[in-house]
């Protein structure tokens, strides 16, 4: 794995952990009333997607358990959506997609000794 990939994977992991932590104890309706929470979660998901987009093809092929294209595509939709972000999708990502992503990233980084 290239050193830059290690950094990108670590960025993905840290951002995913933050998003899950920020949402802990919150409900979906909190996204409607807490602008800071919703903007923070959107930004963290964007960071995850940007990092995933820039991981080398070699690493992506070595770890097909991570949905690289879907993660990057989500980032692209968020970046270009401006004010029309679907907060139901954001909540679903944080609650259902990020925990298994965190687990996969931890395994990949642990296997590489980082």
| 8 in active site | no
Choosing from 8, 21, 69, 75, the catalytic residue is 75
75 catalytic? Reply is: yes
CA separation for the pair 42, 19 (Å, rounded): 9
The CA–CA distances, whole Å, from 1 to 57, 65, 72, 102, 113 equal 10, 16, 19, 18, 11
- What residues are annotated to the active site? 75, 80
């Amino acid at each position: 794995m290239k050193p830059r990939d290690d950094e990108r994977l670590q960025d993905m992991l840290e951002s995913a952990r933050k998003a899950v932590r920020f949402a802990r104890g919150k409900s979906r309706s909190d996204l409607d009333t807490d602008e800071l929470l919703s903007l923070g979660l959107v930004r963290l998901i964007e960071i995850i997607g940007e990092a995933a987009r820039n991981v080398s093809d070699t690493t992506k092929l070595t770890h097909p358990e991570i949905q690289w294209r879907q993660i990057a595509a989500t980032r692209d939709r968020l970046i270009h959506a401006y004010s029309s972000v679907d907060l139901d999708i954001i909540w679903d990502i944080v609650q259902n997609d990020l925990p298994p992503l965190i687990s996969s990233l931890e395994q990949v980084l642990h296997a590489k000794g980082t």
